[in-house]
Structure 1
Amino acid sequence: MHEELENFERNHVWDLVEPPPNCRPIGTKWVFKNKQGEDGMVVRNKARLVAQGFYQKEGIDYEETFAPVARLEAIRILLAFAASKGFKLQQMDVKSTFLNGFIEEEVYVRQPPGFESARFPDRVSKLRKALYGPKQAPRAWYARLKSFCSSPGL
Structure 2
Amino acid sequence: MNEEMRALQKNATWELVPLPHGKKTIGCGWSYTVKLNADGFIEKYKASLVAKQYTQRYGVDFQETFASVVKINTIRVLLSLVVNLD
TM-score (norm 1): 0.40
> Equivalents in 2 of 1:83, 1:14: separation in Å?
36
Contact kept? 2:23, 2:61, Cα under 8 Å: no
Q: Distance in 1 between matches of 2:14 and 2:22?
A: 19
In the alignment, the residues of structure 2 paired with residue 15 and residue 22 of structure 1 have an alpha-carbon distance, to the nearest angstrom, of 20
Q: Deviations over 1:79-120 (max 9, x none)?
A: xx779769xxxxxxxxxxxxxxxxxxxxxxxxxxxxxxxxxx
1:22 aligned partner:
22
TM-fit CA distance, 1:7: 1.0
CA gap 1:31/1:85 in 2 versus in 1, 3 angstroms: closer
What is the Cα-based RMSD across aligned positions, in Å?
Answer: 3.2
Question: Could you tell me which residue of structure 1 aligns to residue 6 of structure 2?
Answer: 6
- Give the distance between the partners of 1:49 and 1:37, measured in 2 at CA: 23
For CA contacts below 8 A with separation 6 or more, give which structure has more relative contact order.
Answer: 1
Q: Give the corresponding residue for 1:99.
A: none
Partner residue of 1:107?
none
Q: Matches of 2:63 and 2:4 in 1, distance apart?
A: 28
Alignment gaps of 5+ in structure 1 = 68-77, 87-154
Q: What is the match of residue 53 of structure 1?
A: 53
Structure 1 partner of 2:41: 41
Q: Given residue 37 of structure 2, which amino acid in structure 1 is its aligned partner?
A: G
Equivalent AA in structure 2 for residue 48 of structure 1: S
Stretches of structure 2 that go unaligned for 5 or more consecutive residues are: 68-77
Query: Matched residue pairs, number?
Result: 76
